[in-house]
Amino acid sequence: MSPSERQLERQRFRRRRSLIRGAVAAVSTVLILGGLAVIVTQSPGWPRVHRTFFDWNDAKDAFPSIASAFVLNIRLFLVIEVLVLIVGIIVAIVRVVPSPALAPIKLLAIVYADVFRGTPTLLVVLLVGFGVPALELQGTPTSLFWLGVIALTLSYGAYVAEVIRAGILSIHPTQWASGRALGLTYGQTMRHIVLPQAIRRVAPPLLNDFVSLQKDTALLSTIGLVEALRQAQVISGHYFIFTPYVVAALFFIAATIPLARLTDFLTVRSLRRENGI
């Protein structure tokens, strides 16, 4: 059946309207971005800024050494992300389990979350990085890599635990009741029913914390790990140019993009499956 005259007229109008809207968006984007570019490049200090921050040859020279230093950042955040997730889930579960036997551990979990969320990450890094080896205790790690891993895991584990706890508490009580009514134990209900739903629900804020964590691996330069930022600093100090910082920044940006796309993909996939779209 062919659409009615009225419907055809509506479609023509909608097409025309979206064309006009597209044109307005394009023109205003060009105007605003172009205007900004003009203001920046016409500023009196631009030639010097251009030379020190955005020099193509400096960037090319700095690229290989910063790239190989960034491998350390990647190793760091991959290890830390896994550990943070484990710590976060354990602490979150300890805080929601209604067992009175766990009271002392619960208290510990609360103190942990409060202390490490409240302390600046840089401070945690310095305390763990310099404080733990100074204890000279048997068995404490002395490798800077693992000290760095411990520091950031402690700090981010506290954030992630709170996010996951919020996710667990947001699951409808009937889901708990349904699981228990099937004769599943508390642990089985948590593991198979509540936690999978909770993690999915909090995936976006979780990703946010992970992006933040990836950037904060740069803080580990303060305890002597030569990662991308530190490497950029070295080159910058040597030649008195700032372009290496911009190169390092681009690496950090590039590293967060796959994570964002992965989360988008997972979210869309579970939406599609569960809603049958």
Partner 1 sequence: MAETVLRADAVRKSFGDQEVLKGIDLEVTQGEVICLIGASGSGKSTLLRCLNLLEQVDDGDIWLDDQEITDPRIDVDKVRRSVGIVFQAYNLFPHLSVLDNIVLGPVKALGHKRADAHDQAVELLDRIGLADKAKAYPDALSGGQQQRVALVRAMAMQPKVLLLDEITSALDPMLVGDVLDVIRALRSEGMTIVMATHEMSFAREIADRVVFLCEGQIEEIGTPEQIFTAPRSPRTAEFLTRYLG
Residues that bind partner 1 (CB under 8 A): 172, 174-175, 177-185, 188, 192-193, 196-197, 200, 270, 273-276
C-alpha–C-alpha distance, residues 55 and 50, integer Å? 6
Residue 277 CB, shortest distance to partner 1, in Å, is: 8
Q: Is the CB of 151 or the CB of 198 nearer to partner 1?
A: 198
| Mutual angle of helices 56-96 and 228-239, in 10-degree steps | 150
Residue 210 CB, shortest distance to partner 1, in Å, is: 21
Residue 35 host element (H or E): helix 5-41
Q: Is the CB of 194 or the CB of 235 nearer to partner 1?
A: 194
Q: Give how far Cα 274 sits from Cα of 119, 138, 161, 235, 267, Å.
A: 40, 51, 26, 51, 11
Structure tokens at 249: 């920044």
Residue 174 CB, shortest distance to partner 1, in Å, is: 4
Q: Identify the CA nearest to 152 among candidates 246, 73, 96, 228.
A: 73
Residue 194 CB, shortest distance to partner 1, in Å, is: 9
Q: Is the CB of 179 or the CB of 244 nearer to partner 1?
A: 179
Q: Is the CB of 41 or the CB of 188 nearer to partner 1?
A: 188
C-alpha–C-alpha distance, residues 187 and 171, integer Å? 15
Cβ atoms 213, 81 nearer than 8 A = yes
Residue 92 CB, shortest distance to partner 1, in Å, is: 18
C-alpha–C-alpha distance, residues 65 and 56, integer Å? 15
CA angle 215, 217, 223 (to 5 degrees): 140
Residue 164 CB, shortest distance to partner 1, in Å, is: 16
Residue 176 CB, shortest distance to partner 1, in Å, is: 9
Q: Is the CB of 140 or the CB of 185 nearer to partner 1?
A: 185
Q: Is the CB of 49 or the CB of 182 nearer to partner 1?
A: 182
Q: Give how far Cα 119 sits from Cα of 134, 209, 249, 261, Å.
A: 20, 16, 25, 31
